[in-house]
């Protein structure tokens, strides 16, 4: 199958309507600068779906005023090639004007609690922007499945709520975080790190490993788990470190299969996120 490059919403709707009724469609929403983490989302879809659509769109509404929207890495030729090699049916790479038609348009608000703590507290309005674009992408591609990385845990949980609260028929499929051999979670922003900063950044997975080890040894108290992680995180600009449930409420004791340890830290100017699904 030859990979199509589609740049307008109209063409994507026509493409979706042209697919046979028994097609199974998977959507992998991305902001481009594709790496092996994205590749693994695509591979999950390729195993399940007859047609994989990858969207490549650096969504302006999820960036704050002082964030890296203008310098966010963009390389559509490289992204297209990776998609082609991975058997993707469509790369949807629209312009901002294509996705946002009017200045004064209907907007979505993320849930008050889930959307405005952790990432949502530091990046106010971030999840409103994420939800607005994800809803549009789901409507345009009408996928059976949409694939989201567990690395962006808060995003994944909020998108699940979007689908649940608006009765969308798409199933959201969580995919495990991909790591480089040194343990750093893959992220498009890792390219901003110098060698020295990358070394500093490795304190983040080391902190999470401490938590995982202590849990394995029977520890359940979150205050103790957090103190253990802090031993690894010395001298790092940690923005938050917490253990919460799937509604993103802080908890005092972990519960298997319903808790997450979340970390965000700044290394130089680069914000890095990582987490441990417990
Ligand atoms: O995770 C991302 O890359 C973005 O937040 C998403 C889901 C593509 C929405 O712009």
Give 160-172 pLDDT, tens digit per residue.
999 999 999 999 9
Q: Report the distance separating Cα 51 and Cα 1, nearest Å.
A: 10
> Which candidate in 38, 44, 126, 144 is catalytic?
38
Q: What share of the chain is helix, strand, coil (3-state, %, to 5)?
A: 40, 20, 40
Please work out, in degrees rounded to the nearest 5, the angle formed at the alpha carbon of residue 44 by the alpha carbons of 134 and 155.
30
| Protein residue closest via CA to atom 8 of ligand 1 | 30
**CB of residue 29 inside a 6 A radius of ligand 1:** yes
**Is the pTM value of this prediction over 0.85?**
yes
Cα(148)–Cα(26) distance, integer angstroms: 11
DSSP string computed for 17-66: HHS-TT--EEEEEE-S---HHHHHHHHHHHHH-SEEEEEE---GGGS-TT
pLDDT tens profile 2-12: 999 999 999 99
Statement: residue 265 has pLDDT above 90:
yes
pLDDT at position 226 is 98
114 touches 158 (CB < 8 A): yes
| Ligand 1 atom with minimal separation from the 134 CA | 9
What DSSP assignment string belongs to 97-138? Answer: HHH---SS-------TTTTSSTHHHHSTTHHHHHHHHHHHHH
Average pLDDT (48-61) is 97
> For the chain, what are the domain ranges?
4-175, 193-270
CA of residue 58 to ligand 1 center, whole Å: 8
Architecture of the domain whose range is 4-175: 3-Layer(aba) Sandwich (3.40)
Q: How many CB atoms lie within 10 A of CB 77?
A: 6
Give residue 103's pLDDT.
76
Instruction: Check pocket membership of 131 for ligand 1, CB cut-off 6 A.
Output: no
State residue 134's pLDDT score: 98
Does position 105 have pLDDT exceeding 90, yes or no?
no
> Do the annotations mark residue 141 as ligand-binding?
no
Mean pLDDT value of segment 196-205 = 97
Q: How far is the CA of 33 from the centre of ligand 1 (A)?
A: 12
- 141 closest CA partner among 54, 46, 39, 47: 54
* Percent residues over pLDDT 90 in the chain: 92
- Report residue 105: phi and psi, to 5°: -100, 170
Alpha carbon separation from 96 to 8, 11, 69, 136 (Å, rounded)? 10, 16, 12, 12
Atom of ligand 1 nearest to the CA of 59: 10
Task: Give the integer Cα–Cα distance in Å for 249 and 253.
Answer: 12
Ligand 1 neighbour 162 (Cβ under 6 A): no
**Residue 114 is labelled as binding a ligand:** no
The CATH T-level fold of domain 193-270 is: 3.30.1300
Q: Is the pLDDT of residue 32 over 90?
A: yes
Q: Is the CB of 130 under 6 A from ligand 1?
A: yes
Question: 33: alpha, beta or left, given left = phi > 0 and alpha = psi -120 to 50?
Answer: left
Burial category of 97 from C-beta neighbours within 10 Å (exposed 0-12, middle 13-18, buried 19 and up): exposed
Task: Please choose from 130, 140, 156, 175 the residue to mutate so as to test ligand 1's pocket, defined by most ligand atoms within 8 A of CB.
Answer: 130
The band of 71, judged by pLDDT with boundaries at 50, 70 and 90, is confident
Mean pLDDT of 181-193: 93
Q: Look at residue 62 and tell me whether its pLDDT is greater than 80.
A: yes
38 a catalytic residue: yes
Q: Is the pLDDT of residue 188 over 90?
A: no
pLDDT at 18: 97
What band does 41 get if pLDDT is binned at 50, 70 and 90? very high
Task: For the chain, give the mean pLDDT.
Answer: 96
* Token pair for 158: 């909020």
């Amino acid at each position: 199958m030859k990979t199509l490059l589609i740049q307008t919403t109209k063409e994507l709707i026509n493409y979706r309507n042209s697919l046979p009724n028994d097609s199974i469609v998977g959507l992998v929403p991305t902001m481009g600068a594709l790496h092996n983490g994205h590749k693994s989302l695509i591979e999950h879809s390729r195993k399940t779906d007859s047609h994989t659509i990858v969207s490549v769109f650096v969504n302006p509404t999820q960036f704050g005023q002082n964030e890296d929207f203008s310098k966010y890495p963009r390389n559509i030729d490289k992204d297209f090639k990776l998609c082609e090699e991975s058997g993707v049916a469509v790369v949807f790479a629209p312009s901002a004007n294509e996705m946002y038609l009017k200045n004064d348009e209907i907007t979505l608000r993320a849930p008050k609690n889930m959307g405005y703590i952790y990432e949502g507290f530091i990046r106010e309005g971030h999840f409103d922007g994420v939800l607005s674009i994800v809803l549009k992408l789901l409507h345009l591609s009408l996928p059976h499945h949409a694939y989201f990385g567990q690395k962006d845990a808060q995003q994944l949980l909020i998108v699940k709520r979007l689908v649940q609260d608006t009765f969308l028929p798409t199933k959201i499929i969580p995919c495990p975080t991909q790591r480089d051999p040194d343990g750093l979670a893959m992220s498009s922003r890792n390219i901003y790190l110098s060698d020295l900063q990358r070394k500093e950044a490795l304190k983040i997975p080391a902190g999470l490993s401490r938590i995982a080890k202590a849990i394995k040894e029977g520890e359940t108290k979150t205050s103790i788990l957090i103190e253990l992680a802090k031993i690894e995180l010395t001298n790092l600009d940690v923005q938050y470190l917490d253990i919460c449930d799937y509604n993103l409420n802080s908890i005092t004791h972990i519960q298997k299969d319903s808790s997450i340890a979340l970390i965000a830290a700044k290394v130089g100017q680069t914000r890095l996120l990582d987490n441990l699904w417990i």
